[in-house]
Chains A and B, each alone.
Chain A
Amino acid sequence: MQLTYLEAIRQGIWEEMDRDPTVFCLGEDIGIYGGAFKVTDGFIDRFGPERVIDTPIAESAIVGAAFGASLTGMRPVAEFQFMDFIGCAFNQISNMVAKTHYLWGAPAPLVLRGPSGGYVHGGPFHSQNPEMWFVHNPGLKVICPATPYDAKGLIKAAIRDNNPCIFFEHKYLYRRIKEEVPTEDYVVPIGKGRVAREGKDLSVITYAAMVHTALEAAEILNKEGIDLEIVDLRTVSPLDREAIVQTVKKTNKVIILHEHSRTGGLAGEIAAIINEEAFDDLDGPIVRIAGLDSAIPFSPPQEHHYLPKVEDVVREARRLRAY
């Protein structure tokens, strides 16, 4: 079945709710309205208002309630209308949820999900990629899928996982990409990357919407005889160190591409992993392509300037190739 990225997530949650009575959804405007992006459209009619709960505008309460319910053996799926608002629940996630298993041995099988990312002119409070706030929090799994197949398989894996999972859906991809997704039940393992494009000259390590940016750049570079390998991490915490090291050993040249700000970004962490595990395999500097160290501006020309682009990847690949 051909599914959009958004539909794949919808279907994944729907199937899990159908399969497992302990799964329920809560969030702002997710019931009769079906959510700001319609991920839960029609869910309340099927599963009832008890399992599709419209909440007050209170992100700490949403996360707290999801966590509390998870302690009774439920598997809540909490929606953030935009992932930018996850900051409102930061303490609840960082100090309550993330530490709970390590400190007192209580599992917290909950999913916090919502749209993130730029390229849709959402402005500084509706375009952010706040995944790094949580990568630095041991105890959380942070998932950022790039394709409909992975989005469905990973949301199902997240709901079935016994740990708190934060699921970042890229809103630019919601209805822009479509692919064949199996009708039968499947999951994609959390913590495992994939090679999105095999190549031999240099590697782009990336995830989410940037996978598609890299794929576009690869087509252009291919015509110039530069063969890009693209690694889609799929999960940013825990990182698939093996996938990172493997591609470095193969191409010896690496570009790390992400949408969020450069300083303190995931590229720094990946560069450190390469330094620790594949230093001798490098034939050139590790290159970072990332968002600017500022808030994401609203106006389209400014937003375009802030965010990584196909031409950035093309330019940096040419430069790195010369080493």
Chain B
Amino acid sequence: MSNTKKKSKASSNGHRPRANARGVADAFVRSQPKNSKTNGTPGNGNLRTYEIPDYRLEHPNFTVHQAIEKDKQGHEQVRYEVEGDLNTPVPPIRDSKYLSKQQAIEIYRFMLLNRKMEVALENLYKQGKVVGGVYFGLGQEACSCASAYALDKDDWFAPMIRNQGSLLVRGFRAADTMMQYMAKADSPTKGRDGTSHFGDIEKRNMVSPISMLGDLIPVLSGVALGARLQERNVAVMTYIGDGGQSTGVTYEGINFAAVQNLGLVLFVESNLWAYSTPSEMQYRCKDLAERAIGYGIPGVIVDGTDACQVYDAAREAVERAHRGEGPTLIEAKMMRMKGHAIHDAAAYVPKPMFDFWKKRDPIARFENYLVKEKKWLTAKENESLIKEVEEVIEAEREIAVNSPMPTPESAEGGVFCEEGCHEIKPKYGMPKVKKGTSGYKETEAAVHLK
């Protein structure tokens, strides 16, 4: 690929207006091929079209490509350049079909907790208290918090590294995540792993993520399969980035959920940058929601910086899962507003992109919506809410900082579930089994290799 060659508009991959972008769509109608009336198509004239509901109120229209620039000494350097309209006005928040005033405020509070926890983590890092790096969900708080908020108590989820807000919504403490980052003895993994890499199969139904991307998708599908064998349709929510979805196991996992009609709610977080690689170098299709067509499942697009859109799409997908209607793919469009981790200044991101998305800060937009548009919060109430959240985070920080480091010897043990360590029993009740009348008889069938 030539570095100087600019991408043609035709190869743009998704941040341009769709020709027939629908406003309010009836989400989750299974994509059905439709006979088009268009003439001149090959063969018998049957042109199949599919619908991807798009909740967004704007369709950002720009692409990133590689270009050669000259530095001050005249040496050539390859850089990313953005091309397109970056001056469009910020759209309003779309009113939720479902959220009450109280629920909207609660999501807003989780988003504040999410952000202020990450600010605290950044400070802890600067104080040398963090082991390793810090990963941020800046700009993605609406997606993490409003998605997890749509889950019922019995549902399951698994976050990715930036979904630290989802953990708060599901009832983990900010101190849990902080202690993970500081590798403390009281962290959920007792120092054995960091970041959001922990889980809880008892109360909060969370599967621990691993660093390899996409592997959670079949695992969450399996959770839904296990629950279904126990006669429960649970929703299982997980996330994948526009980078992570490039992995083969992503395909395997979604396809498995589709074939088995399992209640997977997959958020594809299109945050434009996978470490330093722009989404244009990850995939070629217009929008990742289009992948859903290939899986034969519903796909939908939301503005990932609009908590109401994220919640509505998540809720409808969760309800589908509860009805046993199978998986849903939700593409949430937004931008990762920091580097891959704290060490990374993201100098490769063209500055106009930061400026564009900064105006779409999910918390500022939601705050404006609640305070100024809906008037569900007075300025004073908002102020005291922010203060309360800051106090919570400060108290959590204290707990985390005061936890001791684990002893060296605590590295040992626990490799296996030994006698009496866990009782394995079906979480939702013993499966009711129906047995056929045929009994055991020896097999005499031919086999592949003898």
Contact = CB atoms under 8 A, between A and B. Distances in A.
Interface of A: 6-7, 10-11, 14, 18, 21-22, 24, 34, 36-38, 41-42, 45-48, 50-51, 53, 55-56, 58-76, 91-92, 95-96, 99-107, 109, 120-122, 126, 138-139, 141, 162-163, 171, 174-175
Given A103-B197, A120-B450, A11 B417 contact: no
28 contacts: A11-B440, A22-B229, A22-B431, A36-B448, A58-B252, A61-B252, A64-B249, A64-B253, A66-B222, A69-B223, A69-B225, A69-B226, A69-B229, A71-B219, A71-B223, A74-B229, A74-B431, A92-B218, A92-B249, A101-B417, A104-B193, A105-B414, A106-B208, A107-B421, A109-B417, A126-B449, A162-B422, A171-B449
A64 B189 contact: no
Contacts of A69: 222-223, 225-226, 229
B413 to A, nearest CB: 8
A109 B255 CA distance: 24
Nearest to B428: A72
B450 to A, nearest CB: 7
A73 B425 contact: yes
Contact of B222 (A22, A68, A75, A103): A68
B198 A68 contact: no
Interface in B194-214: 197-199, 201, 207-208, 210-212
A101 B216 CA distance: 16
A68 to B, nearest CB: 2
Interface in B126-169: none
Contacts, number: 215
A202 B220 CA distance: 51
Contacts of B415: 101-102, 138-139
A272 to B, nearest CB: 19
Interface residues of B, number: 67
Interface centre among A51, A102, A109 (most CB of B within 10 A): A102
A121 B449 CA distance: 8
A59 B249 CA distance: 9
A42 B199 contact: no
B443 interface: yes
Given A60-B249, A65-B260, A69-B223, 18 more contacts: A6-B443, A11-B440, A24-B229, A41-B443, A48-B433, A58-B218, A60-B215, A61-B249, A62-B218, A71-B219, A71-B226, A72-B427, A72-B428, A101-B414, A103-B192, A104-B192, A106-B207, A162-B416
A103 B193 contact: yes
A64 B253 CA distance: 8
Interface centre among B217, B222, B428, B448 (most CB of A within 10 A): B222
A63 B197 CA distance: 20
Given A41-B445, A104-B193, A138-B415, A68 B210 contact: no
B369 interface: no
Contacts of B436: 45-48
A68 B225 contact: yes
Contacts of A139: 415-416
A7 to B, nearest CB: 6
A38 B252 contact: no
Nearest to A72: B226
A95 B199 CA distance: 15
A56 B424 contact: no
List 7 tightest A-B contacts by C-beta distance, closest first: A68-B222, A64-B218, A72-B226, A69-B226, A65-B222, A61-B252, A41-B443
B208 A100 contact: yes
Interface centre among B227, B432, B433, B434 (most CB of A within 10 A): B433
A55 B256 contact: yes
B218 A65 contact: yes
Interface string B296-313: 000000000000000000
Chain B binding surface SS class:
loop
Nearest to A171: B449
B416 A163 contact: yes
Contacts of A107: 417, 421-422, 424
Nearest to A6: B443
Contacts of B442: 7
B424 A73 contact: yes
Contacts of B192: 102-104
Contacts of A65: 218-219, 221-222, 225, 256, 260
B447 interface: yes
Interface in B244-277: 248-249, 251-253, 255-256, 259-260
Contacts of A141: 416
A36 B449 CA distance: 9
Interface centre among B197, B220, B434, B447 (most CB of A within 10 A): B447
Contacts of A66: 222
Contacts of B441: 42
A136 to B, nearest CB: 13
B221 A68 contact: yes
Contact of A21 (B216, B223, B430, B445): B430
A56 B442 CA distance: 27
B224 interface: yes
Contacts of B251: 58
Nearest to A99: B210
A203 B234 CA distance: 55
Contact of B215 (A22, A95, A121): A95
Contacts of A96: 210, 212, 215, 219
A38 B430 contact: no
Contacts of A14: 440
B222 to A, nearest CB: 2
Interface in B224-247: 224-227, 229-230, 236
Contacts of B449: 120-122, 126, 171
Given A66-B222, A99-B210, A138-B415, A92 B197 contact: no
Contacts of B433: 21, 47-48, 51
A70 B422 CA distance: 13
A186 B207 CA distance: 34
Nearest to A91: B212
A191 to B, nearest CB: 10
B438 interface: yes
A73 B417 CA distance: 14
B426 interface: yes
A58 B436 CA distance: 29
A162 B252 contact: no
Contacts of B223: 68-69, 71-72
Given A50-B229, A138-B415, A64 B426 contact: no
A37 B447 contact: yes
Contacts of B327: none
A63 B256 CA distance: 11
A64 B230 contact: no
B311 to A, nearest CB: 25
Contacts of B450: 120, 175
Contacts of B193: 103-104
Given A46-B439, A104-B189, A95 B434 contact: no
